[in-house]
Structure 1
Amino acid sequence: MSPNLVALLPELVLTITAVIIMLAEPMLAPGASRKPLGWIGIIGTIASGVASWYQLSFGTIHAYSSTIQVDAFSVLFHYVIASVVLVTLLGSLDYFEGNASHAGEYFALVLFGAVGMMFMTCSVELLMVFVGLEISSISTYILAGFRKGSSTGSESSIKYFLLGSFATAFFLYGIALAFGATGSTNIFAIAHGLATTATPTMAFLALAMILIGLGFKVSAAPFHVWTPDVYQGAPAPIVGLMSTAPKAAAFAVLLRITFTGFPAMQHRWAVLMWILAVLSMTIGNLGALKQTDVKRMLAYSSIAHAGYLLVAFTAFPFDGIASACFYTAAYAAMNVGAFAVITQVAGYQERARTLEDYTGLALKRPVLSALLAFFLLSMIGIPFTGGFFGKFYVFTAAIHGGHVWLAVIGLLNSGVACFYYLRLLTSVYSRRTTDAPMLDNPRPVSAPAAVGLGLAAAATLALGIVPSGAVMFAEYASHSALIEQARQECASAPANCHIELKYDVTK
């Protein structure tokens, strides 16, 4: 099979599946169920995961004039994105009950968005990253306002589009400046060009602008202003998707750009990451303390978690990449699970929005309440959950890198986060003092949604009690990215090449 075909096999599978859904949707009667289209999307998502596993057998794949590089690093993020999309689709099959007229578009847009996200993770050419970013962004802009009868949904979509376009401009300016400073937009060529550039200040400015563009996608402070409003107005399953999968893709790009594209400037950009991490953790947690709307609260929580993940960027390259990969997987599992519970409780009309609406939920929906409690405890970082080991891994990497105070600030912020997470849990397990009609006639959880919730819970639990397999894969991904950078340096300057490979990436 052609390397070009193998390199984009998961993306091709998802694209073909989305096109089939779009072609099949008009053939269904206006009032007919769109669930079969959702099942097609689920099958396509599983097939893309299998295709990603198949890519591992080829080692590192270079395709399309070395603008695409598929290695263990990109495959790991493919798995994360495919898993999030799978849980989202499973939880969305019955979401449009009674509102099925536009469900087919929903399933197709989710898959098209995933294509862009996966494309970002395997691109080592900044212009190709931009293409993937736009494919992902256009889909999520539309999905954010998918509840057509909701004014808050339209508002969230417009805000997301306008601010997203502004952030994209910064990203493009950064690419242009990187080309001006180094003569290339290829990540490995940029790393080589930094050694001979006559304009290092321009190169650093290019990186700063790229950080602004990607900082918007990961909801890092101070580029977070869109997050609470968009999360509040977007459909619950889409919030679960956009708070995890696009962030995973953006962090994958950020890891490649910083650690393999600008390693010579780590002493400078690590300071920026230190500041962004502190701002994101602090603003996110303090902002969440005042929220009564559950989705807004979790929006500020996602800002804080972006800060925890940015802590990994201050560590040594191997520790930083490995811990960031693991934390991304853990955060994706617990966050998409929490929003899957909210989807089942609130329904399409989202009648349960505030803390008061969730009061007494455990009396009517004990299983969903227990799952929500489990995911929230993981976000806090309670032992035997993925969130605990993820934070432990990230903070340990920061300490090894000499950033003890950053780890201390992270731990203090984790303590602050306990308050608003436990406040939601207190509401869930309290007795109602007022009428809550949405709890009196609970919407049954379908079998596919139960499977999705089970998968998210199992992943969160497994990453907390038996993390060794995921840690080994994260380390494998880290070595894969760093070794390829070393090989590129050897190819450009063989006389100065003194590399010792201490890790067998063929395992």
Structure 2
Amino acid sequence: MNELQFEALLPFIVLAAASMAVILLIAFRMSHTVIQVAAFLMACLVIFAMWYVKDTLPQSVPPLFVVDGFGALFTGMIIFSMMAVGLFSYIYFEEREENPKEYYILLFLATLGAATLTISTHFISLFIGLEVLSVSLYALIAYLRNRNNAVESGMKYLVLAAVSSAFLLFGMALIYMETGSMEFERIAQSIKESSSSVLFSMGFGIMVVAIGFKLALVPFHLWAADVYQGAPSPVTAFIATVSKIGVFAVLLRFAQSVNLPQYPLVISIFSVIAMASMIVGNLLALRQQNIKRLMGYSSIAHFGYLLVAFLPGNAAGVEAAAFYLLAYSITLLAVFGVISVLSTRMKDAEDLVIYKGLFHKQPILTAVLSICFLSLAGIPLTAGFIAKFFILASGVQQNLWLPVLVLVITSVIGLYYYLRVISTLFAASSSTGTTAKTLHPFFYISTYIALIVMMLLLFWLGIFPGRAVEGIREFLLIR
């Protein structure tokens, strides 16, 4: 490894070192507040390292990694999401009986696993990154072990993730048997020279099981609502953003490397999965009275929408997918940030009745939630509307009429449950609510500022998307 290659990997090295630094802070018996502040500063250091090395990109680190604009873009989204989750984690865990210090070790390790996926160009690095992410999530989901659903959710995720990893390895083995390589580029080259690609199609079809599980796509979605409900609210936000950004990024990179659209069978499978996810996710969310389960089913539908941008396999689709992930991540982080603020020591603020008349008690949080749900519904002047427009445009360009039609119809269905939550916020005040927390005002003020900034970002991206699109395009050109 030469100096430039080492510099390119510097953000990921800093991310790994951050988890070790947290271990040392715990060994010296530092307080939760000190660890929280140190974790935030180390996340800022990762951002600085990314900025420092950006002029040296792209850099290939054969055979496992390539650090380019694509990886930097999705890694940036992951670090931003992790910083927001870390901020919400403090107010969520501070009053709870479990020691929250080890939580930050797991958070950094899971982030490292997701970030590794964004720069992976080899099945080995893909598998290692995915397993580092998954093993950390097992513990994060069940972290509040005294809660009724936490251990159950952690066990369910562990068993299903282990099964999906087996499918992933078997699919990789079939592709290796066909091509004789595990590097994305060499796989693509071998397929071009081969007269038959049956084993490749079978292998990737089996790998779709693991990918579908990680992205909670139908019919691999059965874990989503239970895990979303049972996990601590900041962890749920992490799963919905960081975990899925990493998996989707490596899926996009692999699809571009092997020119996936040239395989009609694989594209047909993804088309069916996309349409099924859009339909099932929206229908299951219609009658939900638990807001965390509602967000779980909603995420199934949204990643069905995202697959419509994945199907064309062109630059417009990748740009649309990147913008959609950016808008969706900001929205989900804000929603679960509000849930974390309203949660008490004994119970998460997950029942919809808790939010009845919230406007009369917490107008700022009501405004944040309202804009977030309007964005998820795709209402104009929000980032969600522009994101869906870009996905529709990329689908129409490639004549994907059926998935586009399903996207439009299911988006209309989604309006019902999003607007139902908003109407609940402005209903007559309810006596059911959450008790006030007794935390240092600095952390509350910081959290409220973060939520307001996210709300304004949704407006900015919805009204002036051009700057963000140009930035995404510039990153994607660094290849």
- Which TM-score tier does this pair reach, normalised by the shorter chain? over 0.9
The equivalent residue for 1:292 is 289
Does the Cα contact within 8 Å between 2:344 and 2:434 map onto a contact in 1? no
The equivalent residue for 1:222 is 219
Paired AA for residue 55 in structure 1: V
**Structure 1: gaps of 5 or more residues:** 482-507
What CA deviation, in whole Å up to 9, does each residue of 1:277-310 have, x standing for no partner? 1011111000000211110001000101110100
Q: Does 1:436 align with 2:432?
A: yes
If the length of structure 1 is used for normalisation, what is the TM-score?
A: 0.90
Paired AA for residue 453 in structure 1: L
The equivalent residue for 1:58 is 56
Does the Cα contact within 8 Å between 1:364 and 1:442 map onto a contact in 2? no
Q: 1:427 to 1:128 in 2, by over 3 A?
A: same
Q: CA shift at 1:27, angstroms? A: 2.4
In structure 2, what is the Cα distance between the partners aligned to 1:12 and 1:455? 29
Q: What are the residue-to-residue correspondences of 1:50-199 with 2, within 5 Å?
A: 50-63=48-61, 65-99=62-96, 101-197=98-194, 199=196
Q: Does 1:457 align with 2:451?
A: no
Q: CA shift at 1:199, angstroms? A: 4.3
Equivalent of 1:389, from 348, 370, 386?
386
Does the Cα contact within 8 Å between 2:261 and 2:311 map onto a contact in 1? no
In structure 2, what is the Cα distance between the partners aligned to 1:215 and 1:6? 34
* Higher deviation after alignment, 255-264 or 269-278: 255-264
In structure 2, what is the Cα distance between the partners aligned to 1:466 and 1:278? 30
In structure 2, what is the Cα distance between the partners aligned to 1:115 and 1:428? 37
In structure 2, what is the Cα distance between the partners aligned to 1:189 and 1:83? 33
In structure 2, what is the Cα distance between the partners aligned to 1:104 and 1:440? 23
Equivalent of 2:365, from 365, 368, 371?
368
Q: What are the residue-to-residue correspondences of 1:276-425 with 2, within 5 Å?
A: 276-425=273-422
Q: CA shift at 1:348, angstroms? A: 4.2
In structure 1, what is the Cα distance between the partners aligned to 2:57 and 2:167? 34
What secondary structure, in the 3-state scheme, does the structure 2 residue paired with 1:194 have? helix
The equivalent residue for 2:9 is 8
In structure 1, what is the Cα distance between the partners aligned to 2:437 and 2:36? 26
In structure 2, what is the Cα distance between the partners aligned to 1:311 and 1:169? 27
**Structure 2: gaps of 5 or more residues:** none
Q: CA shift at 1:39, angstroms? A: 1.0
In structure 1, what is the Cα distance between the partners aligned to 2:475 and 2:215? 21
What CA deviation, in whole Å up to 9, does each residue of 1:473-500 have, x standing for no partner? 333344445xxxxxxxxxxxxxxxxxxx
* Higher deviation after alignment, 448-457 or 396-405: 448-457
The equivalent residue for 2:473 is 475
In structure 2, what is the Cα distance between the partners aligned to 1:376 and 1:238? 20
What CA deviation, in whole Å up to 9, does each residue of 1:139-191 have, x standing for no partner? 11111111121020111111011101111111111111111111111001111
What secondary structure, in the 3-state scheme, does the structure 2 residue paired with 1:206 have? helix
Does the Cα contact within 8 Å between 2:233 and 2:348 map onto a contact in 1? no
The equivalent residue for 1:498 is none
How many correspondences in the alignment? 476
Paired AA for residue 459 in structure 1: L
Equivalent of 1:246, from 236, 243, 248?
243
What secondary structure, in the 3-state scheme, does the structure 2 residue paired with 1:243 have? helix
In structure 2, what is the Cα distance between the partners aligned to 1:209 and 1:323? 26
Does the Cα contact within 8 Å between 1:323 and 1:393 map onto a contact in 2? yes
In structure 2, what is the Cα distance between the partners aligned to 1:93 and 1:401? 46
Equivalent of 2:268, from 261, 266, 271?
271
In structure 2, what is the Cα distance between the partners aligned to 1:105 and 1:203? 42
Q: 1:268 to 1:100 in 2, by over 3 A?
A: same
In structure 1, what is the Cα distance between the partners aligned to 2:456 and 2:144? 30
In structure 1, what is the Cα distance between the partners aligned to 2:14 and 2:97? 25
Does the Cα contact within 8 Å between 1:316 and 1:401 map onto a contact in 2? no
What secondary structure, in the 3-state scheme, does the structure 1 residue paired with 2:288 have? coil
* Higher deviation after alignment, 44-53 or 332-341: 44-53
Equivalent of 1:207, from 204, 207, 211?
204
Q: 1:441 to 1:41 in 2, by over 3 A?
A: closer
Equivalent of 1:36, from 14, 34, 37?
34
Does the Cα contact within 8 Å between 1:258 and 1:266 map onto a contact in 2? no
Does the Cα contact within 8 Å between 2:216 and 2:300 map onto a contact in 1? yes
Paired AA for residue 172 in structure 1: L
The equivalent residue for 1:22 is 23
What CA deviation, in whole Å up to 9, does each residue of 1:237-258 have, x standing for no partner? 1111110111001110111111
What secondary structure, in the 3-state scheme, does the structure 2 residue paired with 1:323 have? helix
Does the Cα contact within 8 Å between 1:181 and 1:199 map onto a contact in 2? no
Q: 1:331 to 1:319 in 2, by over 3 A?
A: same
In structure 1, what is the Cα distance between the partners aligned to 2:323 and 2:294? 24
Q: CA shift at 1:100, angstroms? A: 6.2
Q: CA RMSD in A?
A: 1.9
Paired AA for residue 272 in structure 2: I
What secondary structure, in the 3-state scheme, does the structure 2 residue paired with 1:302 have? helix
Does the Cα contact within 8 Å between 1:88 and 1:452 map onto a contact in 2? no
Does the Cα contact within 8 Å between 2:95 and 2:345 map onto a contact in 1? no
Q: CA shift at 1:455, angstroms? A: 3.6
Q: CA shift at 1:353, angstroms? A: 2.1
Does the Cα contact within 8 Å between 1:191 and 1:260 map onto a contact in 2? yes
Does the Cα contact within 8 Å between 2:360 and 2:429 map onto a contact in 1? no
If the length of structure 2 is used for normalisation, what is the TM-score?
A: 0.95
Q: CA shift at 1:350, angstroms? A: 2.7
Does the Cα contact within 8 Å between 2:142 and 2:151 map onto a contact in 1? yes
Q: 1:219 to 1:45 in 2, by over 3 A?
A: same
